[in-house]
Homo-oligomer: A and B are copies of this chain.
């Protein structure tokens, strides 16, 4: 067994993932991260370390024309050569705004639908510790508050409240992008490079190509340090507290200390919206101002179209029915 495969099976056990009799869907873009995860999992099957039904899932967003189709063809070819089952999905229409986020939502809808059809219990994605560090820095720069800094979790429910389908990231805690590329070279598997990953008009690309190398001059282990800080925050903040989803009485809120109020508001939004994504400091601060303002009928708009209204001595959450939050960072 190669080292990358040994590390993967070790993490597989640490995450308490089933070694047999399970159906596992694996999201594959064709890049080094997902190809390494796919091939290593397949090698572990061949080595009898895993005895699972492993299905690759590729979603063709069609955003990069011929390049997207070549990615699909590449994934089809590898899966066919190695006799790995493959499900392929295609975007129905091109998003016109917020392209990256819209694409992510569509991709996760495809993964969820496909997993449900296959009766899979686990969806794997190939996010690495580098992705975690980049996400941390992006949220730090943006000022997303502590929730944003707590990063991706190695395992969580894919849909809210559904315990039967897990999203698991078995590379998140240990694998660097350099490891996934080295493993692909070592085992003689090609991978695709997304030209968007080179486009420095994307903030994430500049974080990866400019900011992280500079930080590495300060501390060669910076990626591990940032991922560890995210993990600590995740532990410290914990999941959203249970708070009543109904309206909050202003009189009660005014009794709270500043930090207590912030915590309560974040939890209340999380429960009402189904998640905390995209809730930034400015939204919490806007709610604080709303609470202290003298006028009734005022509104704070939240990302995704929902909003909070001050009415009759209460804060009332109003959900926008078409709101769909990306399940991922």
Which residues, 146 to 183 on A, are CB-close (under 8 Å) to B?
Answer: 146, 149
Identify A219's interface contact among B141, B145, B222, CB under 8 A: B141
Query: A236-B237, A262-B235 given as contacts; is B141 within 8 A of A215 (CB)?
Result: yes
Decide: B218 and A235 in contact? CB cutoff 8 A: no
Identify A143's interface contact among B141, B143, B207, B219, CB under 8 A: B219
Query: A221-B143, A236-B237, A262-B235 given as contacts; is B229 within 8 A of A149 (CB)?
Result: yes
CA distance A210 to B140 in the complex (A): 18
Decide: A232 and B262 in contact? CB cutoff 8 A: yes
Q: Does A188 contact B (CB under 8 A)?
A: no
In the assembled complex, how far is the CB of residue A147 from the closest CB belonging to chain B, in whole angstroms?
10
Hey, which chain B residues are within 8 Å of A224, CB to CB? 143
CA distance A258 to B232 in the complex (A): 10
Query: A146-B229, A229-B140 given as contacts; is B219 within 8 A of A235 (CB)?
Result: no
Decide: B236 and A259 in contact? CB cutoff 8 A: yes
CA distance A232 to B261 in the complex (A): 12
Hey, which chain B residues are within 8 Å of A207, CB to CB? 218
Interface residues as binary, A244-279 with B (CB distance below 8 Å gives 1, 0 otherwise): 000000000000001100110000000000000000
CA distance A259 to B235 in the complex (A): 6
Q: Does A206 contact B (CB under 8 A)?
A: yes
CA distance A203 to B140 in the complex (A): 20
In the assembled complex, how far is the CB of residue A268 from the closest CB belonging to chain B, in whole angstroms?
16
Hey, which chain B residues are within 8 Å of A233, CB to CB? 146
CA distance A260 to B241 in the complex (A): 16
In the assembled complex, how far is the CB of residue A30 from the closest CB belonging to chain B, in whole angstroms?
29
CA distance A218 to B139 in the complex (A): 11
Interface residues as binary, A220-244 with B (CB distance below 8 Å gives 1, 0 otherwise): 0110111011001101111000000
Beta-carbon nearest neighbor of A224 in chain B: B143
In the assembled complex, how far is the CB of residue A62 from the closest CB belonging to chain B, in whole angstroms?
30
Q: Does A211 contact B (CB under 8 A)?
A: yes
Closest 5 CB pairs of A and B: A235-B259, A143-B225, A141-B218, A141-B219, A146-B232
